[in-house]
A and B are shown apart, each in its own frame.
Chain A
Amino acid sequence: MASVVPVKEKKLMDVKLGELPSWILMRDFTPKGTAGAFQRGYYRYHNKYVNVKRGGVAMVLAAYMLFSYCPCYKELKHQRLCKYH
C-alpha cells in the first residue's frame, strides 16, 4: 500500500481506504489546527451558498431548527403518536 506521494499531503478524496487511519492520525489536532479546520469549513460553506449574488441563510436556519430539536427531544418524547401514553 505504499504510494508515490506521501499520505499526509494528499486530499481526502485521493487517500486510499487502507491509508485512511494513518491519514486521520496525521491531521493537525493542535488548537490552531482545529481552529483552522473550522475556519476553512465555514468559509467553504459561506462562499458556496451565502456569499453569492442571490444567496441566503435559509439552509442555515433549517439546520438550526433541526439542531435545536435535539436538546428538546427528552421533553417531547411523550408526544409521539401512540395508542397508550
Chain B
Amino acid sequence: MNENLFTSFITPTMVGIPIVLLIIMFPSILFPSPSRLIDNRLVSIQQWLVRLTSKQMLSIHSHKGQTWALMLMSLILFIGSTNLLGLLPHSFTPTTQLSMNLGMAIPLWAGTVATGFRYKTKASLAHFLPQGTPFPLIPMLVIIETISLFIQPVALAVRLTANITAGHLLIHLIGGATLTLTSISTITAFITLTVLVLLTILEFAVALIQAYVFTLLVSLYLHDNT
C-alpha cells in the first residue's frame, strides 16, 4: 500500500521506452482544427469556449498585452485538458511533475518580466516599492518585493503540482478505503463512496480551476508589465 501510493506518479515507461512525450502530446489530438464555416459539434463547442475565455481574459490588457493571446489560450487549453485527462483511470498526468510545471512557469514569468523591463523600465523598477511607504521602511520593502517577485514562478509551478497531486492521492486513498471497507461494514463503505463521488466532482472542478488560475496569474504578471 505504501509503495503503491506514489507509483502512479512515476513517468510511464512501456517495455523500457519512455512514452511520456506521447502522453504529453496526446491532448492535441482532442482539439481538431476547424476547417469549415460550421464544423462538427466537437469543434463548435471548443470554438465557443475559446472565444468566451479569450474575451474574458484578454479584455483587461492593452494592445501590447493582447499579443500574448495565443500563448495564454494555448496554455489554458493545455493545462485544462491535461488535468481533465488525468482523471481517467490509470492515466498519467504530466502536470503532477514539478519539472514540467517549472518548465511552463519560469519561461512565461521571465517573459513577462523581461517585457516589462524592456519597454517600461522605470515603471517595472517602480513596482519594487509600493506607493506611500514610510521612508525608513524602504530598504526592507525593496528586499521583500524582490523576494516576492522571484517567488512568483516557483509559486505558480508548485501550486499546480501540489493541487493536482493532492487530488489524485486523495482519490487513490479514499477509493482504496472504500474497497477495503466493503467487506468490513457496508454502511461505512457507502459513506466513503459518497465522499469519493463528491471528491471526484471536486477534482473535475479543480482541474479546470487550476488551469484558469495559472493562466490568470500569468496574464496578471503580464498586465503589470505592459
Looking at the assembled complex, report how far the CB atom of B207 sits from the nearest CB atom of chain A, in whole angstroms: 15
Which residues from chain B contact A57 at a C-beta distance below 8 Å? Answer: 29-30, 42
Contacts of A64 in B (CB 8 A): 26, 85, 88, 91
A56 and B42 within 8 A (CB)? yes
Quick check: B40 and A61 within 8 Å, CB to CB?
Answer: no
Q: Is the CB of A61 within 8 A of B4?
A: no
Q: How far is the CA of A52 from the CA of B14 in the complex (A)?
A: 33
- The segment from A11-19, A27-35, A67-75 found at the interface with B is A67-75
With a CB–CB cut-off of 8 A, which chain A residues contact B30? 57, 60-61
Q: Which residues of B contact A71 (CB under 8 A)?
A: 12-14, 19, 92
Distance of A35 from chain B, by nearest CB (Å): 15
Residues of A37-85 contacting chain B, CB below 8 A? 46, 50-57, 60-61, 64-65, 68-72, 75
Closest to B88 in A: A65
CA distance A64 to B85 in the complex (A): 9
B63 within 8 A of A: no
The answer, yes or no, to whether B132 is at the interface (CB within 8 Å) is: no
* CB contact under 8 A between A68 and B91, given known A60-B29, A75-B4, A75-B7: yes
User: Within the assembled complex, what's the spacing in Å between the Cα atoms of A53 and B42?
Assistant: 9
> Are B40 and A69 in contact (CB-based, < 8 A)?
no
Query: A16 vs B91: C-alpha distance in the bound complex, in angstroms?
Result: 41
Among residues of B, the one whose C-beta sits closest to the C-beta of A78 is B4
Most A Cβ at <10 Å: residue of B8, B90, B92: B90
* A residues in contact with B91, CB < 8 Å: 64-65, 68
| Cα-based distance from A46 to B14 in the complex (angstroms) | 26
Determine the distance from Cα of A50 to Cα of B41 in the docked complex, in whole angstroms.
9
- Could you tell me if B32 and A50 are in contact, using CB atoms closer than 8 angstroms? yes
| CB of A30, distance to nearest CB on chain B (Å) | 22
Q: Does B89 belong to the interface (CB within 8 Å)?
A: yes
Closest to B41 in A: A54
Nearest A residue to B26 via CB reads: A64
Contact B40 A55 (CB under 8 A): yes
Is the Cβ of A68 less than 8 Å from the Cβ of B12?
yes
A51→B13 contact, CB < 8 A:
no
- Measured in the bound complex, the distance between the Cα atoms of B41 and A46 in whole Å is 14
Question: Which of B8, B19, B41 makes the CB contact (< 8 A) with A53?
Answer: B41
**B15-38 interface code vs A (CB 8 A; 1 in, 0 out):** 000010001001001101001000
B interface residues with partner A (beta carbon < 8 Å): 4, 7-8, 12-14, 19, 23, 26, 29-30, 32, 35, 39-42, 85, 88-92
- Extra inter-chain contacts (8) besides given A57-B29, A68-B91, A71-B13, CB under 8 Å: A54-B40, A55-B41, A61-B30, A64-B91, A68-B12, A71-B14, A71-B19, A72-B7
Interchain Cβ contacts under 8 Å between A and B, 12 examples? A50-B32, A51-B39, A51-B40, A52-B40, A56-B41, A56-B42, A61-B30, A71-B14, A71-B19, A72-B7, A75-B4, A75-B8
